[in-house]
A = this chain, B = another copy of it.
Amino acid sequence: MKPQIKIILSNFFFEYETPRQVLVRNKKVAVACRIIQMGVLGYIIGWVFMYEKGYHAIDTAIGSVFTKMKGVSLTNISGEERIWDAADFVFPEQGASSFVVMTNYIATVGQQQDKCPELPDGKNKCTTDKDCDKGKYKRTGNGQMTGRCISNTSTCEIYSWCPVEDDRQIPDPAILLTSENYTLFIKNSITFPHFNVVRSNLVESVNQSYINTCLYHPKTDPLCPIFRLGDIVELSGFSFSEIARLGGAIGLLIDWDCNLDLSIRHCEPKYEFYGLYGTGRNDKEKPSLGYNFRYAKYYVEKGVEKRTLMKVFGVRIDIIVNGRAGKFDIIPTLTAIGSGVGIFGVATVVCDLLLLHFVTKKDFYKNMKFKHTEIPEEVSVFLFCFCF
């Protein structure tokens, strides 16, 4: 090793540089400065670290939801009694996280492919055959026009599933009003892939005997995974009789906010409910109300294919899992500290501004803080005289 390199290395290892500083003894500036610095320190420790948990690495959950509705309703339509159970009123049936509970319906029994007049609902009027373009479809219509205008109804004849569904009047009150007492059981499993943590909403305190008897209540039973449909509707701000008649959509948010530095037992779900584009409070803001869909049950009668068309009004429940876990991690901790030191630097800059611009003896302090490489003439002359 050459001597030159040796010196550089020894300088590097045995010598270190530290900034020279002036200790400014000025009460006003010093106090202001300390307050700023303590504010910054308090913000970093109190807010970033304690409140926002800046030392946490964050992971979002991957969730899986399984639902099961239970309940029975008896309806009595013009003397005909009929019982409805979960297999009849839940769509789809396999326990998905988004499903519809039928609360009201308009059934059109025995539709078959045929020609029949359009529904006289005011949108499909005609006076002569010319109003009914043969082979065309109207956007508001239910089938292909045959070109004839039926005088009885003053509507076009169409080729369609006949008779056409008449949904001008929605049953009021809702046919399945007792659906209020149905219960919904939710199983939710979440995974934090980054932390390799799996967790279920059936937490430690929710055992089999508790499940058999409990019913969710926001205050008294916030962890019970069994919900009464009426409660869900009320908690999301709807009136049950209204939503049952016209349908509506509800978001059921399962919110997990877990601090994995603590015991996993404290990682518990929180259930939240909110109404979505339904017959709710903000009617004026939401131009499109209600929730309905149609489905058909097909059958063959005397060799002819027929169907029963159901226009189903119901409560649609969308279960949404929002999971977030934090755990101490060295990277975000050091990033937060690094940022904090940076902000400390800002505090020093502010203090210096005060010192150098807003203090009476500012020129004195400037002189203390700064050294000029180009020495002003008179001073250098003076120094020259003095020194030599």
Contacts and interface: CB of A to CB of B under 8 A. Distances in A.
A202 B277 contact: yes
A48 B57 CA distance: 13
Interface string A65-89: 0101011101000000111011110
A27 B43 contact: no
Contact of A25 (B15, B142, B337): B15
Interface stretch (A148-156, A166-174, A338-346): A338-346
B341 A334 contact: no
A94 B99 CA distance: 8
Given A93-B293, A286-B202, A369 B18 contact: yes
How often does this chain occur in the complex, in copies? 3
Contacts of A96: 98
Q: Which of A66, A68, A336, A349 counts the most B-chain CB atoms under 10 A from its CB?
A: A66
Given A296-B88, A301-B300, A13 B30 contact: yes
Contact of A137 (B72, B82, B294): B72
Contacts of A21: 17-20, 369-371
A22 interface: yes
Interface stretch (A124-132, A203-211, A216-224, A238-246): A203-211
A316 B144 contact: no
Interface string A99-111: 1100000000000
A260 interface: no
Contacts of A309: 87
Contacts of A229: none
Minimum-distance CB pairs A-B, first 6: A338-B342, A338-B339, A93-B295, A341-B342, A25-B374, A87-B296
30 contacts: A12-B34, A16-B23, A17-B23, A17-B370, A18-B348, A19-B21, A19-B348, A19-B369, A22-B373, A24-B373, A25-B372, A47-B330, A47-B331, A52-B331, A70-B139, A72-B143, A85-B142, A86-B294, A91-B93, A92-B92, A94-B312, A95-B293, A139-B183, A189-B249, A191-B274, A298-B299, A300-B301, A338-B339, A338-B343, A365-B373
Given A22-B372, A74-B159, 12 more contacts: A16-B24, A16-B351, A20-B369, A23-B373, A66-B291, A83-B161, A85-B142, A85-B161, A87-B307, A189-B277, A211-B287, A337-B342
